[in-house]
Chain A
């Protein structure tokens, strides 16, 4: 290899290495934030329903603060290189989606859209070649939400809230109907989609137990 070529190569390698380090630092920050949030949200399994809003309020500021990190990352990523680097932060991002959609469900029993999550995380439309929330990452986050809700269905009953499993059941069925619309490839999303069935089964069993013993307040759902 002639020296000019070799020099060129080494320069590119150095730049990449430097950038990788910088992005990694930000991702570590992002990861810390999502861990704080999931740590706090773990308490939903032991918090009575009437005290949930206070718990959710304590998570909200951390969620909003994620926009600092997303801005830093978007700033670091060179033009058009979103897909080159996204693997470094996609776990944190999926966790953030999980947190945002969980809070929204517990507040309003509805599914937060991809656009709403993007907005909360401060993701700007002008970042579209550097930092975006992709459908895939959003869907991963939503599957985590369902996984978590199947646990909550059980624990809500333990805490004496017999209505929660029914709400969860209806919500999860709606989400499942959504997922059935997709043509999934044999990838991680497909495997995790398959796991939804077990969550639904678990939730159904809880609903069954609660209904048979007439513990649920009313039979308003069909």
Chain B
């Protein structure tokens, strides 16, 4: 080694202070950038959550003229994707901040929003295609028009984002049950979430966070399974095709909804028969 350690080390307080001032600038710059990225990540989270709500809303809203569910799903996906462009623009805007080796320095600050985005994107993708979005597809959505990524997607963010999808699908399945065609949806979602859980299971040894989320996925799956069980048991009592069952349910609940005032009094009627007293 040619370097002589004696040369150039700092002997005076002034020299030390001068050097520490450069450290201050460096640390300040780092902290400021970190703050900006955290703020950006929060905005990404908020927007992505809104997209998830939007998707749920479109999938559960009443339609005057019922159309096949597929139409509705691809319309929801299209609207969701449109809105997700705003999120993608947010990612594009931090491109310079996470350039080169800086990406891994701030990865932890970027990832909360990124995972929420992947959750929303994969939900839209599922509604559209009935499949799980692939790693490359997500990375592509985070790239410019020339296909150059804004920053590298990490496997962990991809998997954790997908793991959150199962919770949304559980909500989707449960609220779908009360709708026309919803029982089929619930059964499809059930099969899909079950295969997701199986896929993730082999990957849990690699990521601690995924293990935690896998427990939530298992709970969600169980809720969907319980709901589809109830449907299977009840429909088995009627030897009718599912569409006809839908019609029966729609007719009954429709007539109930219209004359609600009258129905209310009718339902109360048996009560006074008991002994005519207060219902305490």
A182 to B5, CA, bound (A): 26
B101 close to A178 (CB less than 8 A) = no
- The yes or no answer to B105 lying at the interface (CB within 8 A) is yes
A2 close to B131 (CB less than 8 A) = yes
Chain B nearest CB from A102 CB (Å) reads 11
| A113: B residues at CB distance < 8 A | 8-10, 19
Tell me whether A80 and B101 are in contact in the complex, defined as CB-CB below 8 angstroms, given that A108-B11, A110-B10, A179-B20 are known contacts.
yes
Question: Apart from A83-B104, A116-B5, A183-B28, what 20 extra A-B contacts exist at CB < 8 Å?
Answer: A5-B132, A5-B135, A8-B134, A9-B135, A9-B155, A13-B203, A16-B206, A17-B206, A104-B6, A108-B6, A110-B11, A128-B101, A174-B16, A179-B20, A181-B21, A181-B23, A181-B24, A182-B20, A185-B27, A185-B31
Tell me whether A183 and B31 are in contact in the complex, defined as CB-CB below 8 angstroms, given that A108-B11, A116-B9 are known contacts.
yes
Secondary structure at the A interface, as helix, strand, loop or mixed, is helix
A113 to B135, CA, bound (A): 44
A177 close to B10 (CB less than 8 A) = no
B34 nearest in chain A by CB position: A185
| B26: A residues at CB distance < 8 A | 135
- The yes or no answer to A6 lying at the interface (CB within 8 A) is yes
Q: Which residues of B contact A (CB under 8 A)?
A: 1, 3, 5-6, 8-13, 16-17, 19-21, 23-24, 26-28, 31, 100-105, 107, 131-132, 134-136, 155, 159, 195-196, 199, 203, 206
15 A-B residue pairings within 8 Å (CB atoms): A5-B132, A6-B199, A9-B159, A80-B100, A104-B6, A111-B9, A111-B16, A112-B5, A113-B8, A119-B1, A128-B101, A177-B13, A178-B19, A179-B20, A181-B17
- A residues 100-154 near B (Cβ < 8 Å) are 100, 103-104, 107-116, 119-120, 122, 128-130, 135-136, 139
Tell me whether A108 and B9 are in contact in the complex, defined as CB-CB below 8 angstroms, given that A9-B155, A113-B19, A178-B17 are known contacts.
yes
Number of A residues near B (Cβ < 8 Å) is 51
Q: Which residues of A contact B (CB under 8 A)?
A: 1-2, 4-6, 8-9, 12-13, 16-17, 64, 67, 80-84, 100, 103-104, 107-116, 119-120, 122, 128-130, 135-136, 139, 173-175, 177-179, 181-185
| A64: B residues at CB distance < 8 A | 1
| B12: A residues at CB distance < 8 A | 174
Chain B nearest CB from A218 CB (Å) reads 19
